[in-house]
Every structure is written in C-alpha cells, then in structure tokens.
Structure 1
Amino acid sequence: MPLLRFDLVEGRTLDELQLLLDAAHRAVLAAFKVPERDRYQIVHEHKRSRIVIEDTGLDIERTDGVVFLQVTSRPRGREAKEAFYKILTEELEKSCGIAPADVVVSIIENSDEDWSFGLGRAQFLTGDL
C-alpha cells in the first residue's frame, strides 16, 4: 500500500516497464516513507486511440510516452504528495527519459478499513500492520 495503477500507450519493452516501475517505487519510498516490500503496482497498456490525456488548458505538450498514474492510498499530507509528484517526475526522467510533461498523477485516498492484504482480514484494523 499504496496501490499504483499505470495507464500507458502500448509499446514499451519489458525492460522499459521494469525501469518505470522501479523509478515509481523509489518515489513512493522517498515521499511516503513506506517499507521496501510495500509494493503494489499494476500496468494497463492501451492502443494510442484508446487513451486521451490532454492538458486541462495548461498548454502542456504530451507525447506517446505519457504516463497516467492513479495512486490509491491511506491519507497523505500535502507535503508528502507534493514531494511524490516532484520525486516521481525526477526519477522517471532520469531513469526512463520520460518528460515531466508526460506524467499525470491522481491520488485517491481511502482509510484503514478499506484494505485487506489477504487471508480475509483487514490487517490495519487487526493490528497485523
């Protein structure tokens, strides 16, 4: 936790995907201070015609390298979120050559009772975590 869901234009190699996922995980570790093995990532690839990510009137130019990242997480403070956005774009640019203009993030917050990590239990509530 958090859960990261990536929506990408298809066409990246397995190595490129691994670099992207590793870079995003480093950003999560740095900004949200979660344990190293707290890693939940899902990749969805789409044909170019099936993904539309425009600029909300900000004049941001996007390429086919665009990454839309939806993060589902327990509540995080504003500073942690802003740090995540910054570190994520830095990591993706440095490790993957993805321009910061091609990174769009949405964070959805939920609470401890909204998570079960298996075994039919709510580990945040039971004290297992």
Structure 2
Amino acid sequence: MAVMPLLHFHLVENAWTSAEIQTLLDIAYDTTLTAFGAPQGDRYQIVSKHPANELILGDTGLGFTRSNRRVVLSIRTRPRTAAQKRQFYQLLSDRYAEALKLDRQDLMINLVTNTDEDWSFHAGHAEFLDGEL
C-alpha cells in the first residue's frame, strides 16, 4: 500500500508570503504523488517558522551560500528506492525554481525511513498493524 509521507517544512519567519507557502506545500504534495506514488488526498504537511539565526544550514564544504528563503524539508516515509528519492529531489528542486524562483542552494531535503509500526493516525490505534489500513 502506498502511503503519503509526513512532510515538515522549516522556513525563516517573514521570508515567505502565505501564498508562497501554499505553493510550497502544493508543489511538494504533487511531487510526492509523482515520485512516490502516494494516494490522492493522503496529505500530511507541517510548516514551522524560525528566526533566521535559529535555522542554520551550512554548506557541508560544498562551497555555496543560502539566503533567508532557505527551506529545510524533513520527510518521514516508508522505504523508497534510490531512483524514487533522486526523482523526488530533482523534481521538487526544478518545480520550486520554476514556480517560486527558489535558488536551488536554498533547498535541503532529509528523508527518514520508517515502517508500518511507526504510525498511528488517530486515537492511539496502530492502524497498519491492526489491519485497519
């Protein structure tokens, strides 16, 4: 069963308009449908805003800089293939650059893999383990 991952966006406060944030979310959702085969309507997204001095993203020695429009996208997901991950990373970067003029250096993505036993959608149920999903 394909399941939508949980996407948590970390943004610098006051660097994005409400409309831009909605576009960030919509593009990420559509990209997840394409790259991961997640089901329509299975959407889980969180946005957190931070003062610029509390969202520190080094360049890991790669020699680039980031602006205040930097985005950290942390994704909790079932296991995905390397090809699916590469497709997601590239497609999301391309779509953000086109729609939001986001500098590609400003996007950082981290996928954290988990399994069915790591999810409870409501009321303390283990829906996958109990056969509800």
TM-score by length of 1: 0.94
C-alpha separation in 2, matches of 1:60 and 1:124: 42
Structure 2 letter corresponding to 1:40: Y
1:127 to 113, 121, 131: 131
Q: Which moved more, 1:11-20 or 1:112-121?
A: 112-121
Could you say what secondary structure the match of 1:44 adopts? strand
For 1:4, the equivalent position in structure 2 comes to 7
Structure 1 letter corresponding to 2:102: I
C-alpha displacement of 1:128: 2.6
**1:66 maps to 2:70:** yes
Structure 1 letter corresponding to 2:41: R
For 2:59, the equivalent position in structure 1 comes to 55
After superposition, residues 1-129 of structure 1 pair within 5 angstroms as: 1-11=4-14, 12-129=16-133
Higher percent of residues as helix? 1
Per-residue CA deviations over 1:9-51 (Å, capped at 9, x if unaligned) read 1111111110111111111111100011111110110111111
Could you say what secondary structure the match of 2:29 adopts? helix
Structure 2 letter corresponding to 1:94: E
Give the percent of matched residue pairs that are identical in Structure 1 and Structure 2: 42
Could you say what secondary structure the match of 1:6 adopts? strand
Structure 2 letter corresponding to 1:93: A
Structure 1 letter corresponding to 2:54: R
Aligned length: 129
C-alpha separation in 1, matches of 2:34 and 2:57: 27
TM-score by length of 2: 0.91
Q: CA RMSD in A?
A: 1.1
